[in-house]
């Protein structure tokens, strides 16, 4: 029982610190604003998902166009503009 209590306390205290690194930076646009910008696309059928890519620093948007084709975009969290992929 003591082992589980200790584990719960460690997880409870570590979670906020861990989650803080997984949040978009200060001054970022709200996800709803990101979605609104994507919804302005003339080819948009529907948005499948919007994820925060904390390792890379952008919103990843998966959407389908009106013909049903899947597209992926990288969105800058502060400007809401599409980022170009670099190789």
Among the listed residues 49, 43, 46, the one whose alpha carbon sits nearest the alpha carbon of residue 61: 49
- CATH code: domain 2-83 is 3.10.450
For 30-55, what is each residue's pLDDT tens digit? 999 999 999 999 999 999 999 999 99
**C-alpha pair distances (Å), 5 with each of 9, 10, 27:** 6, 9, 37
3-state secondary structure of 35: helix
- Would you kindly state where each structural domain of the chain is located, as residue ranges? 2-83
pLDDT at 5 over 70: no
> Is the pTM higher than 0.75?
no
């Amino acid at each position: 029982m003591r082992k589980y209590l200790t584990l719960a306390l460690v997880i409870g205290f570590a979670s906020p610190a861990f989650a803080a690194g997984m949040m978009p930076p200060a001054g970022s646009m709200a996800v709803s604003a990101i979605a609104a910008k994507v919804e302005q696309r003339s080819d948009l059928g529907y948005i499948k998902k919007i994820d925060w890519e904390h390792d890379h620093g952008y919103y990843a948007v998966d959407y389908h166009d009106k013909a049903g084709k899947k597209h992926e975009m990288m969105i800058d969290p502060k400007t809401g503009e599409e980022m170009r992929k670099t190789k």
